[in-house]
Amino acid sequence: MKKVKPSLVLSDEDLKKITTYPPELQTELFHTSLAVQSPYLLAKINGEQYIVASWIAEYKKAGKAMEDIEWNEVITRHINPFKEENLLDDVAKLNVREIESLLEFCNKYGLMGEKINNISIEKSGVDTLGRRILANAKESLSYFVKETLIIQGLITTYHDIIQPLNDYYKDTNDTSIEKTIDEMELKLKQGINSKLGLVRPAINLEAKGKYLPGYTTSTLLGAIYYQFYEVVTSGKQFKECVNCGSLFIPRKSNAKFCPPFTSGEHSSCQNSYNQMKSRAKKSVRTGKKTIEEVANSLGRPLAEVRGWFD
Ligand SMILES: [Zn+2]
């Protein structure tokens, strides 16, 4: 994420502006702290499925009222979602039908922010740093799934439709597809813009008397859309992971696999692909299978499997 160095603009004798960047004022441009109330679990409340912080379930089981919450008993982790480099990749990859991976995502990043995006916080327990404890403690599963699917739909529109159409248009100048491209790009633009209001300028008080410019968001959803906005406006493209097929933003031009879920670890997709490759090579080398049979049984294109033996 970008850092800001607020510039110092002075005028010289000829009233020409001179801009300098005092390094001591360097700070984070995006300063946000969101609660992650992990571990989360799925619970049915009044007939509807919710993703809830497990401490809520424990409080309910113990018959305690929400009013009785001892705020300092509730363990809460905080993240700056703007600094989570794989956030957009993880959203793109998330399979909302797999509850386990959905909860794993929530345990890492928290919830999308239904309560915050839709209504003001009704009961705002505040910790010593003034952070709202109830934030991200509970969210309807349907909201989380709906918002995830909307983002994934926009990513797919960008990667699977707009990009190939624009490539084709560049090659052929085929005017018959102009209207379709315009419509799709408008849909993408409106889809992203509609959520960018969740990110807003905010003063970053770095030290006494030092009011620095900055941006913040109250919800994970805001940060996700901001990352998407950065991808699109910087002309970056998503790529398909060779192993699992999900879309990710390549950090290097030759990147083939989605980034690891936990930073610093190896990409699990890269690991499983390499394992599959070495098993395949072994079965061909030992004469158990032909290259064609391997390709067939793995369901991978023959050209790709042939490439393993080059
Ligand atoms: Zn992958």
Instruction: Confirm whether 250 is domain-assigned.
Output: no
- Angle (CA) 257-259-260 rounded to 5° is 115
Instruction: Identify whether the C-beta of residue 13 lies closer than 8 Å to the C-beta of residue 198.
Output: no
CA distance 77 to 43: 21
Q: Same domain, yes or no, for 168 and 93?
A: no
By the 8 A CB rule, do 115 and 135 touch?
A: yes
Q: How many Å lie between the centroid of ligand 1 and the Cα of residue 256?
A: 8
pLDDT value of position 267? 85
- Residue among 76, 184, 91 nearest 131 (CA): 76
Query: Which residues span the domain enclosing 139?
Result: 35-143
Asked whether residue 2 is assigned to any structural domain, the reply reads no
pLDDT at 132: 55
Ligand 1 centroid – CA 163 distance (Å)? 20
CA angle 114, 117, 122 (to 5 degrees): 80
Phi, psi dihedrals of residue 95, rounded to the nearest 5° = -95, 105
Q: Tell me the CA–centroid distance for residue 268 and ligand 1, in Å.
A: 7
Q: What is the pLDDT of residue 24?
A: 44
Give the mean pLDDT of 72-83.
Answer: 81
Q: Do 136 and 230 fall within a single domain?
A: no
For the chain, give the percent of residues with pLDDT over 70. 82
Most confident of 180-189, 196-205, 243-252, 291-300: 180-189
Given a cut of 80, whether residue 258 has pLDDT beyond it is: yes
In the reported structure, the alpha carbon of residue 93 is separated from the centroid of ligand 1 by a whole-number distance in angstroms of 8
How confident is the model over 33-50, as pLDDT tens digits? 888 999 999 999 899 999
Number of neighbours of residue 175 by Cβ within 10 angstroms:
8
User: Ligand 1 centroid to 104 CA: how many Å?
Assistant: 16
Query: What is the pLDDT at residue 67?
Result: 66
Average pLDDT over residues 105-130: 68
| Residues 70, 167 within the same domain | no
Note whether 124 and 153 are same-domain residues.
Answer: no
Q: How far is ligand 1, taken at its centre, from the CA of residue 247, in Å?
A: 8
On whether both 125 and 166 belong to a single domain, the answer is: no
Answer yes or no: is 4 within a domain: no
* Domain presence at residue 107: yes
Confirm whether 262 is domain-assigned. no
Look at the chain and report how many structural domains it folds into.
Answer: 3
State the distance from the centre of ligand 1 to the C-alpha of 144, rounded, in angstroms. 22
Around ion ligand 1, residues with a beta carbon closer than 5 Å are 241, 243-244, 258, 269
Peptide bond connecting 6 to the previous residue in cis, omega within 30 degrees of 0: no
Per-residue pLDDT for 124 more than 50? no
230 has pLDDT over 60: yes
Asked whether the predicted pLDDT for residue 75 surpasses 80, the reply is no
Residues 6+ apart with CB under 8 A from 176: none
The pLDDT assigned to 116 comes to 74
Q: Could you tell me the distance, in angstroms and rounded to a whole number, from the CA of residue 252 to the centre of ligand 1? A: 15
Q: Which of 223, 260, 213, 303 is nearest to 93 (CA)?
A: 260
Q: What is the pTM of this model?
A: 0.83
Tokens representing 24 are: 């001591």
Q: Residues 188-228: pLDDT tens digits?
A: 999 999 999 999 998 888 788 888 888 999 899 999 999 99
Q: Helices 141-156 and 220-233 meet at what angle, rounded to 10? A: 0
pLDDT at 25 over 60: no
Distance 243 CA to ligand 1 centre (A): 5
Task: Quote the pLDDT of residue 179.
Answer: 96
- Output the average pLDDT for the chain: 85
CA of 248 to the centre of ligand 1 (A): 8
Q: Are residues 124 and 158 in the same domain?
A: no
- Say how many Å lie between the CA of residue 270 and the centre of ligand 1: 7
Q: What is the pLDDT of residues 159-176, one digit of tens each?
A: 999 999 999 999 999 999
Residue 10: predicted pLDDT: 62
Distance 244 CA to ligand 1 centre (A): 4
Calculate the alpha carbon distances from 52 to 42, 109, 157, 275, 310 in Å: 6, 13, 31, 37, 51
Supply the pLDDT for residue 133. 58
Confidence of residue 9 (pLDDT cuts 50, 70, 90): low
Q: Which one of 24-28, 126-130, 177-181 scores highest in mean pLDDT? A: 177-181
* In a domain? residue 231: yes
| 65 CA from centroid of ligand 1 (Å) | 43
Both 136 and 89 in one domain: the answer is: yes
d(CA 94, ligand 1 centre) in Å: 11
In a domain, 7, yes or no: no
**pLDDT at 112 exceeding the cut of 70:** yes
Whole-angstrom distance, CA of residue 289 vs CA of residue 125: 63
How far is the centre of ligand 1, averaged over its atoms, from the C-alpha of 269 (Å)? 5
**Distance (Å) from CA 169 to ligand 1 centroid:** 29
- Among 143, 163, 179, give the residue marking a domain's end: 143
Region of poorest pLDDT, from 2-16, 154-168, 241-255, 257-271? 2-16
How far does the centroid of ligand 1 lie from the alpha carbon of residue 237, in Å?
Answer: 16
Q: Is the pLDDT of residue 125 over 50?
A: no
CB 49 within 8 A of CB 140: yes
Distance 217 CA to ligand 1 centre (A): 29
Q: E-strand spans in 198-242? A: 199-201, 204-207, 210-212, 215-217, 239-240
111 CA distance to ligand 1 centroid (A)? 23
Check pLDDT > 70 for residue 251. yes
Same domain, 139 and 159: no
Q: What's the 114 CA to ligand 1 centre distance in angstroms? A: 28
Question: If you measure from the C-alpha of residue 272 to the centroid of ligand 1, how many angstroms do you get, rounded to a whole number?
Answer: 9
Banded model confidence at residue 245, pLDDT cuts 50, 70, 90: very high
Q: Is residue 24 part of a domain?
A: no
pLDDT-based confidence at residue 62 (cuts at 50, 70, 90): confident
